[in-house]
Amino acid sequence: MTTKAPKYEAIVAKKVAQRDSKFVKEWLIPKESLPDLTDVTGWIPKSGFLTEEELEITEANVLEISKNIQSKKWRALQVTKAFCHRASIANQLVNCLTEVFFDEAFKQAEELDKYQDETGSLKGPLHGLPISLKDNLNVKGQASSIGIVQFCFEPEQMEEDSLIVEVLRGLGAVFYVKTNIPAAMMMPESVNHIFGHTVNPLNRNLSAGGSSGGEAALLALKGSPLGVGTDIGGSIRMPSSFQNLYALRPSFGRFPNYGGRSGLPGLESVNSVNGPMTTDLESLEYYCKSVIGDEPWNRDAKAIELPWKSVTLPEKMNFAVLMDDGVVRPTPPIRRGLQITIDALRKAGHEVIEWDPAEHFRLSEIITSFFLSDGGAYIRDAFEATEEPFFPFMNAHKVAPEVKVKDLWKLQSERSALLKKYLERWNATAAQTSNGKPIDAIIMPATPFAGNPTGKFQDYIGYTSPFNVLDYSVGIFPVTRADKDLDPRDEASTGHSATDDKVWEDYNPEETHGGAVALQLIGRRLQEEKVVEMLKLFKKLIKYEH
């Protein structure tokens, strides 16, 4: 008796073959020449596969690239080709790309060069800058499969750019790749049945994280100078922290947001937002200023008219630190990262107090209920359409009961009360600080991990997801890397929870060695400028070198 292959397999084969055909053949490195390293972050520059010029371009930050394009030292096409080449190598190292459209990028870049030659001016502040995009951001003419087989060819070509893509295009950006994600973007590791799993370039035994995991891995390898991720539960922050990037999860309404492909379309109890990810903080700030300078509120009905403003930080600042949320204790390298940060802040004269995660667990439960409030119907239907099997991580979507709107209303009421409480607790820190002012930010882990092997993330995203419910503006900053000698295993688990036990059990200093230690910097809602300024301060104090 033979079993008929499930439908999805043929679709995957076709999709992957199509993607693979888009690479430039001469750029593909023969298998035997690929490295057998765990940490591949330093390999590309030394590999000899990029020209010196390609290296110079791809090691430059966004401002340097812009300046050199303006002076015509570099042309848009030349810059685009360099990043396409490097992205192609990155993909061979960590499997980070979904859509590959170099030809379209070359054409776009040529047109930009022509525009500059003819007008003597640039199309916008991002003229000729290659920007990589998370797979769920739509690019006209490309697919958005979002890790679900059914969507590989439905449609094969999106008819419109997502609004953020349209805005970036108008500012002169060039698009060339989209990056890998978990199926439906509903897992914290970037794995799906189409493109497989994206591994972490800092330590390829570890996952790149998710859901913007392909993006983060590509950026860590400088296959892109800046990428755009999205975040509805931690999807910018978790992978950015796993790859030691700088990143910003803005509050909803700050950046243009319309028209991405969602795994939960129509969900509004909590909103996905997009934001920049990069190894270079200056590039991140330049991106924010450029996008918001374009006045997205004139095009996006949900964007808020808030121009990017200049913010001066007080000389002496107050920070609260969350070392352990009482559900899952962070693993040793993350706790060391927190201590490094606290020490650096105190040394610089800032005050550090403790943060009580009182509402976090309930907020993380509420967001999960929001995600599942359609009874898992949308995602389940999409999987079933091609007989695609479910991932264990996504089992909740399989078994979720149908929810009635009246029950959703109750949850939303509860959430409103929790938001108020949280804000009141933030304000009340004024009574704890020596200058009588409330905290400026909370510093805390983005996950308990400095990366983890595939399948070992467990199911807890409670370090990031409360801030989606709260809609606070959050930055990610790198601190250090995991070190098997400095970060020995704890003698026992805390007994916080079953998940905590598993996290403790799974932690292996050898396996995690070299993994990224990056943290969250939590600002209040719509305080993106202040968050970026604080990231700049932290960079100066912590001095992490990429």
Residues that bind a second copy (CB under 8 A): 253, 258, 264-269, 297-302, 304-306, 373-375, 377-378, 402-406, 408-413, 416, 419-420, 422-423, 427, 470, 525-527
Whole-number Å distance between alpha carbons of 535 and 519: 11
CB of 467 to a second copy, least distance (A): 12
Comparison of 157 and 416: residue with beta carbon closer to a second copy: 416
User: What is the rounded distance in angstroms from the CA atom of residue 176 to the CA atom of residue 107?
Assistant: 10
Active site residue 107: no
- CA 422 vs CA 152, 414, 429, 461, 467: distances in Å: 41, 12, 11, 19, 11
- Coil vs helix vs strand at 457: coil
Q: Cβ(500)–Cβ(325) under 8 Å?
A: no
Report d(CA 89, CA 79) in Å as an integer: 16
The least distance separating a second copy from the CB of residue 405, rounded to whole angstroms, comes to 4
Establish whether 493 is a catalytic residue.
Answer: no
Could you tell me the smallest distance in angstroms from the CB atom of residue 445 to a second copy? 23
**97 touches 87 (CB < 8 A):** yes
Q: Which of 235, 240, 241, 364 is catalytic?
A: 235
Q: What whole-number distance in Å separates Cα of residue 143 and Cα of residue 221?
A: 24
Nearer to a second copy, 265 or 349 (CB): 265
Closest approach of a second copy to the CB of residue 63, in Å: 28
Which of 75, 415 has the CB closer to a second copy?
A: 415
**CA pair distance 110, 117, nearest whole angstrom:** 10
C-alpha 145/C-alpha 193 separation (Å) is 11
DSSP 8-state symbol, 147: T
Rounded Cα gap, residues 71 and 76, in angstroms: 11
- For residue 229, the surrounding DSSP H or E stretch is strand 227-231
Residue in 81, 134, 456, 536 annotated catalytic: 134
Shortest distance (Å) from residue 296 CB to a second copy:
11
End-to-end CA distance of the chain: 56
Residue 445 region by backbone torsions, left for phi larger than 0, else alpha for psi between -120 and 50, else beta: beta
> Tokens 């001016």 belong to which residue?
121
By beta-carbon proximity to a second copy, the closer residue of 107 and 425 is 425
Q: Which of residues 242 and 252 has its CB atom nearest to a second copy in the complex?
A: 252
The residue count of the chain comes to 546
Active site residue 134: yes
- Residue 269 vs 508, nearer CB to a second copy: 269
d(CA 88, CA 284): 23
Candidate list 132, 144, 162, 211, residue with the active-site label: 211
How far, in Å, CA of 113 to CA of 109, rounded?
A: 6
Q: How far is the CB of 260 from a second copy (least distance, A)?
A: 11
Nearer CB in complex with a second copy: 158/218: 158
Task: Determine the distance from the C-alpha atom of residue 343 to the mean position of all C-alpha atoms in its chain, rounded to a whole number.
Answer: 27
Catalytic residues: 134, 211, 235
